[in-house]
Structures are given as structure tokens and as C-alpha cells.
Amino acid sequence: MLRENDVTSHQQEFCEYLIISQSGRFYEELQSLLNQPGLTREEVKEFTYILFFADNRHGPKLRLKEQPFVQKFPHIYEVFRLIKRKGKRYLPTLLQRTESCIVIENASRRIGEEKPQLPILPYMTV
């Protein structure tokens, strides 16, 4: 059973991750937040790809690369791990579908409303 301070720490972790995810500067914000001396943007990008796209059963070399993220966001990591239990393609597919829904249902509709002269497919609910 979760104690109140456990819920607060979970909420804080998820809020912090949400903020950097929505910043438009994901890798740079994550690099800064992890506070690992010498960690480059490319290394942050590499271990993010490991988190999103690699099988959960990857070896110790890759596991070491993702440790800064795991230490900072253990619950986010656990969510990713649980989603990928169905297979390593499940999380990226879920992310792609979510992104396409956002673009189609929100961005395209707004563009269509604000700029009706642009050749954008009409907003449709499926």
C-alpha cells in the first residue's frame, strides 16, 4: 500500500517528466536534469532510444547507459518496462499512435479552423 509521501514523490516524478517532455527541448532538459558531469546530448539521446526501443532483456552494457534515467525516474522507467513486456515494438507503436491522434485530432483541426485556405484534410472522428 502506498503511503501519502510515496504518492507525492510519484506525482512529483511524473510532473517533472511531463514538463521536460512538453518543453520542446527534451534531450537538453533531460541532460540538465540528470546532472551527470560529462553526459552529452548524444548520450542522452542514445539511452533514451534504448529506453523506448530496446527489448527489456538487453545486456549489461546497455543497462549501464540507461542508469542515469532509471535513477532519476524509476517509476517512469517501470511504466516503460511494463508496457514493453508485450514486446519491444509495443511502446514505440503506442507513442506513434498517441502522437498521430494529437496531430490529427488537435493540430489539424486547429489549422483547418484558423487557415481554411490550406489544403488540410477535414477533421474527422473515427
Mean pLDDT of 93-118: 84
Predicted local confidence at residue 1, as pLDDT: 46
Q: Are residues 93 and 116 in the same domain?
A: yes
Task: Give the domain range for residue 81.
Answer: 4-86
How far CA 38 is from CA of 27, 34, 61, 125, in Å, comes to: 14, 11, 18, 47
* pLDDT tens-digit map of 4-62: 555 677 889 999 988 988 888 888 888 887 777 888 888 888 888 888 888 888 888 77
Q: Are residues 60 and 28 in the same domain?
A: yes
| Number of independent structural domains in the chain | 2
Cell triple for 56: 527489456
Rounded Cα gap, residues 68 and 59, in angstroms: 16
Q: Are residues 77 and 45 in the same domain?
A: yes
Q: Are residues 99 and 69 in the same domain?
A: no
Q: Are residues 108 and 76 in the same domain?
A: no
From 80, 78, 70, select the one nearest 36 (Cα to Cα).
70
Give the percent of the chain with pLDDT over 90.
6
Q: Are residues 75 and 109 in the same domain?
A: no
Rounded Cα gap, residues 109 and 122, in angstroms: 7
Q: Are residues 62 and 78 in the same domain?
A: yes
